[in-house]
Structure 1
Amino acid sequence: MTAPAPVHRLVDVPGGGRVHLVEQGSGPLVLLVHGFPESWYSWRHQIPVLARAGYRAVAIDVRGYGRSSKPTAVEEYRMLAHVADNVAVVRALGERTATVVGHDWGSPIAAHSALLRPDVFTAVALLSVPYTPPGGPRPSETFARIGGDEEFYVEYFQRPGRAEAEIEPDVRGWLAGVYGALSGGAVQVGSGPFFIPRGERMSGRFPDGPPPAWLSEADLDVYAAEFERSGFAGPLNRYRNVDRDWADLAAWTGEPLRQPSLFVAGKDEASTGWLSAAIEAYPRTLPGLSGSHLLDDCGHWVQQERPEEFNALLLEWLERHVER
């Protein structure tokens, strides 16, 4: 099936903001939500494949990224705002329902979109970061304990301006480092980039060497250009809302996702280790799970590191669970 070329659009969302999206194809809507530090471009291998298969593929720039709105207040990046953005995108496209697919931070954004608005998001696919229902201990207290003598990266990102001062003087170099450090087969420096010696920088844990094989110089240029324009305050503000989300979502403590669901991660994905209990709880927390896959020789950037393998899994799952 031949699909028209991708189209870039801006759509209005609550609060006077706008979301930039890229869409291609027609059919059931599949909403693609990226993570940190990425953009709609992270789905470049999926958009045309979904369109050719008879779906309306839509990849957004999450608020704070790319050409989407960038509110200045930290609280404007709470989970409830991201869910509202996703609902507004579906409505602006003239659709009633969608399948939502999320990677990295996009995974909990997708999961909570499905949790809070099951009337809109009727199926959900999660990449790299397992679903963890709302509730449990206060996140900031947990993150402060995880690192021990070192500082866990979420704790490191908390103070506004701190991580920005590390990243923004050399955006391209920092991006190349973090993409490489979290790729499959990466040689870890010390305890890895998720744990930072106190008083030092995250980039000190990046391995030396060229960008990973899945990331061309042209791809890196695209990402660097987006962040050179947009900065990192908005993306990092997502991390600065973990306690606010914990309070906002208290009414959904322990709630499972009941829609048809899919989980895909790389075998070299770090979060499947420290969130192993979340995966073990899937029979209770994801009762609609119909596929859970760990891909060989793959790290964090699943849909970019293993696009053909992931696309096959996604299309097979969509065929089983999405009505045409």
Structure 2
Amino acid sequence: MPQTPRTTALTHRLVSSPAGRIHLVEQGTGPLVLLVHGFPESWYSWRHQLPALAAAGYRAVAVDVRGYGRSSRPNAVHAYRMLDLVEDNVAVVHALGERTAVIVGHDWGSNIAATSALVRPDVFRAVGLLSVPYTPRGGPRPSEIFAGMGGDEEFYVSYFQEPGRAEAEIEPDVRGWLAGFYAALSADTMPAPDAPDPHFVRRGGTLRERFPAGRLPAWLSEADLDVYAGEFERTGLSGALNRYRAMDRDWEDLAPFDGAPVRQPSLFIGGGLDASTQWLADAIEAYPVTLPGLVSSHILDGCGHWLQQERPQDTNRLLTDWLASLPG
């Protein structure tokens, strides 16, 4: 009978970085694959990918982005600039004794991964983007763009801008808020197309009032929710939300890269029911120009935003097939 490849156990460690420390979890040996999560998650969102990548012959490493989990949480909003997050990733690669890595990100992690590849092509030799397509820097300030969305309602990114405002909604009941947020963007629990959009807030309202209630998505067990809630109950949400509050600083910092493509070999996976994929369809169509090294692009039909957790087997197959195709 064919034998299942042996993999090492999960190993937790803290490494030095410009943030102070970055917590990471690794499994396996081989070429380094760095996994970067989005909002509001942690290294745990890659729990299905770590063993699969390790079994395929890779050293899979999932980080807690600064502001999350056991990684450092600077107080200042400007400490969450994209360029600082890039340097955290570089520090992780070097702390692990490596010179280069493949980087894969989901949600905000997709933006962080793309920018890491753009700014430090000497370190990041290939990039995988999940859920959020690559869009080069350009146009008006992000805060101006998001402020103009929604008409009489407020887009969630604008709602997150004022320090303390979203925290006042979330932190009295972190577990309940997270359950609703995850459900709102999951294929099997998201509101019907004719229901009020959970990405927008009515004037004087909250995000939570539009979240589904009473049922967790199939991918999220009570134990999984406990892991996420336990981390955010301990750390609060300000570190995670500061990523949104640093967008205009990114726009200023990345001016030298205006319109720049990411040229390394790349992969994109999106969810067919994910608003990120739908709203940024033009960005996906622009990939021949913006991602000239694109190896493969996939839309998972009937999948929501949390695709590596909603569809772990499909995600693992696409990731390992892509990784196997990379030179070296």
Q: With structure 1 as the length reference, what TM-score do the two structures score? A: 0.98
CA contact (8 A) 2:272 2:303 kept: yes
Number of the residue aligned with 2:203: 198
Shift of 1:198: 1.4
- Runs of 5+ consecutive residues of structure 2 not aligned to the other structure: none
Number of residues paired by the alignment? Answer: 322
What is the CA–CA distance in structure 1 between the aligned matches of 2:91 and 2:317, rounded to whole Å?
A: 29
Pair 1:251–1:307, CA change in 2 (3 A): same
1:148 positional shift: 1.2
For residues 71-86 of structure 1, the aligned pairs below 5 Å read: 71-86=74-89
Instruction: Quote the Cα distance in structure 1 between the aligned partners of 2:144 and 2:244.
Output: 14
1:232 Cα deviation from its structure 2 partner: 0.2
Q: Any residues of structure 2 matched to 1:196-275 within 5 Å, and which?
A: 196-275=201-280
Once the two structures are TM-superposed, the CA of residue 322 in structure 1 deviates from its matched residue by 4.8
- Structure 1 residue identity aligned to 2:227: V
Which residue number in structure 1 is paired with residue 30 of structure 2? 27
Deviation digits for residues 73-132 of structure 1 (CA, Å, limit 9, x no counterpart): 010001011000000000000000000000000000000000000010000000000001
Partner of 2:127: 124
Q: 1:167-201: per-residue Cα shift (whole Å, max 9, x none)? A: 00000000000000000142248432111111110
- Local SS of the residue matching 1:147: coil
The whole-number CA distance in structure 1 between the counterparts of 2:204 and 2:108 is 26
**1:13 partnered with 2:17:** yes
Kept in 2, the 8 Å contact 1:29–1:99? The answer is yes
Q: Secondary structure at the match of 1:3?
A: coil
Letter in 2 for 1:46: Q
Identical pairs, percent? 70
- Which amino acid letter does the alignment assign opposite residue 5 of structure 1? A
Residues 272 and 278 in structure 2, CA contact (< 8 A), matched pair in contact too: no
Could you tell me how far 1:166 is from its partner in structure 2?
A: 0.3
Deviating 4+ runs (over 4 angstroms): none
Amino acid of the residue matched to residue 6 of structure 2?
T
Q: Which residue pairs with 1:4 in the alignment?
A: 8
How many Å separate the matches in 1 of 2:38 and 2:196?
Answer: 23
Within the alignment, does 1:61 sit opposite 2:101 as a pair? no
Conservation of the 8 A alpha-carbon contact between 2:22 and 2:66: yes
Which of 90, 93, 108 is the equivalent residue of 1:90?
93
| C-alpha distance in 2 between matches for 1:211 and 1:5 | 29
- Which amino acid is 1:143 matched to? F
Structure 1 residues 79-158: aligned runs within 5 Å: 79-158=82-161
Code of the aligned partner of 1:250 = A
C-alpha change, 1:42 and 1:322, in structure 2 (3 Å) is farther
Aligned to 1:159: 162
Secondary structure at the aligned position of 2:249 is classed as: helix
Question: What TM-score, normalized to structure 2?
Answer: 0.97
Coordinate RMSD, CA, aligned:
1.0
Q: Decide whether the 8 Å contact of 1:4 with 1:24 is kept in 2.
A: yes
SS across alignment from 1:133: coil
Q: Aligned partner of 2:247: which letter?
A: V
- The gaps in structure 1 that reach 5 residues or longer are none
Distance 2:152 2:285 in 1: 28
1:164-183 counterparts in 2 under 5 A?
164-183=167-186
- Distance (Å, rounded) in 1 between the aligned partners of 2:267 and 2:204: 39
- The letter of the residue matching 1:151 is E
8 A contact 1:24–1:48 mirrored in 2: yes
Aligned to 1:291: 296
Give the deviation of 1:205 after TM superposition: 1.0
